[in-house]
Amino acid sequence: MLPMNGNFRDEAPVSGWLARLLGREDSEAERRRIVEIGWLVDAEKSGFVYEAPRPYQRKAPAPPSAKAVGYCPAVIEYEARHVEVPCPVDMHLRLGKDEAGQYRLEFVTSPKSAAGPKTLAKMVTLNGPSQWREPGRPVIQVTAPYRFVADEPVWLNQLPPIFHHRATPLPGVMIGGRFPTHLWPRILMWAFEWHDPTQDLVLKRGEPWFCLRFETTDPARQVRLVEAEMTPELRAYCNAMDGVVNYVNRTFSLFQTAERRRPPKLLKRAERFAGS
């Protein structure tokens, strides 16, 4: 991916590693070393149920040996570059069949359930058989109204919660994706391919829902997540992007158009973080 408008240059920090060690690195050198990515929740209602994305941190005591895998630099580097997004609500989903033998989505609730079927039905969609990857493996989608925005080339990878061990495995697999979020700050979705339709799908609020990993033009650069503001410029840009799937089959073909029409700056930190 070429730099947008030719304005982005990724040069080595002029202050070097010694300046970083001594705490004397200037803001320009830091800008070259760190890629800032903004996140926001773009939901008309109930946006507070969607918690902030959190950098993955292993919750375990210090390993007793310096040779333990927890001290491996490659492992530490790998884990540090992932972000976890927690599940917003409790969901207990089941696949039934109608009189014609077609799958239908059922919401299993109890008196203790916080979200009822009508609420969940607004979040969850069962795709039609023509949209499945394989026959007999239904696909559902759950709205995840996060947007990620950057002012230099950044590709977003949406992955399953790879660090989260479930005592009871899910009856299928999460469908991941990858796209340039600096050009296409689309709302995310959680897509799930149901491999065993006889088993229920149970998700718990607060548990890891999916992971994110960001790619930049220089793999050595670090990523800093900040809460972003929905500015008029970003809203207008998103309005031009949202819904295009209803008109074209391959949205990647629109990236060049998006790059030409993109404002020079879309990322603005939320006011309460602007001075941090």
- Global pTM value: 0.84
Which of 50, 43, 49, 44 has its CA nearest to residue 85? 50
What are the structural domain ranges in the chain?
36-42+75-227
- Quote the pLDDT of residue 25: 52
- Quote the pLDDT of residue 66: 79
Residue 260 gets the label, from left (phi > 0), alpha (psi -120 to 50) or beta, of alpha
Tell me which residue has tokens 């989903």.
93
Alpha-carbon separation of residue 58 from 55, 127, 131, 161 (angstroms): 10, 35, 37, 13
- Quote the pLDDT of residue 27: 65
3-class SS shares of the chain: helix, strand, coil, % to 5: 25, 30, 45
Tens-digit pLDDT string for the chain (276 aa) = 333 443 333 333 434 444 555 555 556 666 678 999 999 999 988 899 999 999 998 887 787 887 888 888 898 899 999 999 999 999 999 999 998 889 999 999 887 778 888 889 999 999 999 999 999 999 999 999 999 999 999 999 999 999 999 999 999 999 999 999 999 999 999 999 999 999 999 999 999 999 999 999 999 999 999 999 999 999 999 999 998 988 888 889 999 999 999 999 999 999 865 444
CATH topology of domain 36-42+75-227: Deoxyuridine 5'-Triphosphate Nucleotidohydrolase; Chain A (2.70.40)
Where b means 16+ CB within 10 Å and e means fewer, 17-50 reads eeeeeeeebeeebbebbebbbbbbbbbeeeeeeb
DSSP annotation string for 178-235: EEETTT--PPEEEEEEES-TTS-EEE-TTSEEEEEEEEESSTTSEEEEEEB---HHHH
Radius of gyration of the chain (CA): 21
Dihedral angle, C-alpha 52, 53, 56, 59, nearest 10 °:
30
- Quote the pLDDT of residue 232: 96
Which of 48, 62, 93 has its CA nearest to residue 202? 93
First and final CA of the chain: distance in angstroms? Answer: 30
SS3 state at 78: helix
Cα–Cα distance between 161 and 30 in angstroms, integer?
A: 30
